[in-house]
Amino acid sequence: MASPVFSSDSAFKPGKTIDVNGNPVTADDLRQQFEMPSAGAADRGLMSYEGVISKTTGMVILAFIMAVPGYMFFSYAGLVVSAIAGMVLGLVLAFKKVTPPALALVYAAIEGYFLGSLSIYVETAFNVPGAALQALLATACTFAVCLWLYKSGRVRYTPKMQKFLMIGLISYALFSLVNLGLMIFGATGSAWGLRTEADIAGIPLGVIIGAFAVILGCISLIGDFDFVENGVRAGLPQHYDWKAAFGIVVTLVWLYVEFLRIIAILQGRD
């Protein structure tokens, strides 16, 4: 005979099935539970493709919304302040282990306003109407091509590619600092500095440097996709969705600025 502790409780009798609240479970309840989809990564608090896509999309949409006032109501002070604020906040987020959602959204809003202001400034100051739309289409197409190349397995983020990206970023940063210094101290008479004053085989240096920067941006996108894939496979915590989304948006902003500058330089020579 079983202990009274068990024999007095009908739940332990043969054929009895109960839920966590002690209520009997019917055959219909069991069938519904069997037909329910299994818990996904997001349901288990893990990083997921859906989470990264939704957060990246949200940041991009917010940037688009904030670009409207920057484009429609241009302010030089607003352009400068948003540029500095976006750079500072971007650096802060880049070195944080956990990306706070609120700060990521603030970054997207600031960068959106900055890109809107920069776009109208370039279009009017350099007489290149439509440059913003062209740069936007170029950025979207580049993103789509890079995503297709990565998803199809034609391109992978190899160690050699990582080294090339690191060396390229350092070289590009040094050139940008030197060029900026020359512009600030009046060593060049062009609004783009060495980018338009120097030519290589008749091609503006700015176009060559811009093309090199776009290649780096493409490699950076491939690296972003690789991070997402590895993170999902490794079962990283869900908050990494925001870090991945932030990284992708940073790369997209960089690509847009480079395309905008290349278009302005090329059309300005017509």
pLDDT per position as a tens digit, 56-76: 999 999 999 999 999 999 999
In the prediction, which pLDDT does 229 show? 95
Alpha-carbon gap, residue 234 to 103, rounded angstroms: 25
- In the chain, where the domains are located: 49-268
pLDDT tier for residue 190 given thresholds of 50, 70 and 90 = confident
pLDDT at 18 over 70: no
More confident residue, 204 or 71: 71
**CA-CA distances (angstroms) from residue 257 to 6, 61, 213, 246?**
72, 18, 10, 17
- Does the structure show a pLDDT above 70 at 185? yes
Kindly state the percentage of the chain with pLDDT values over 70: 81
For residue 5, pLDDT over 50 is answered with no
Per-residue pLDDT tens digits for 77-86: 999 999 999 9
Phi, psi values for residue 199, rounded to 5° = -120, 150
Alpha-carbon distance values, 73 to 65, 125, 180 (Å): 13, 15, 27
Give 117-169 as a DSSP string.
Answer: HHHHHHHHHTT-TTHHHHHHHHHHHHHHHHHHHHHTTS----HHHHHHHHHHH
What pLDDT shows up at residue 10? 52
CB neighbourhood size of 260 (10 A) = 25
Q: pTM (2 decimals)? A: 0.83
Q: 44 pLDDT exceeds 70?
A: no
DSSP 24: B
Percent of the chain with pLDDT over 90: 68
**Range name among 25-39, 47-61, 73-87, 94-108 with the lowest pLDDT average:** 25-39
Is the pLDDT assigned to residue 270 strictly greater than 60? no
- pLDDT value, residue 9: 46
Scanning the chain, the segments in alpha helix (DSSP H) are 4-7, 27-35, 49-72, 76-94, 101-125, 131-151, 159-184, 194-197, 205-234, 240-268
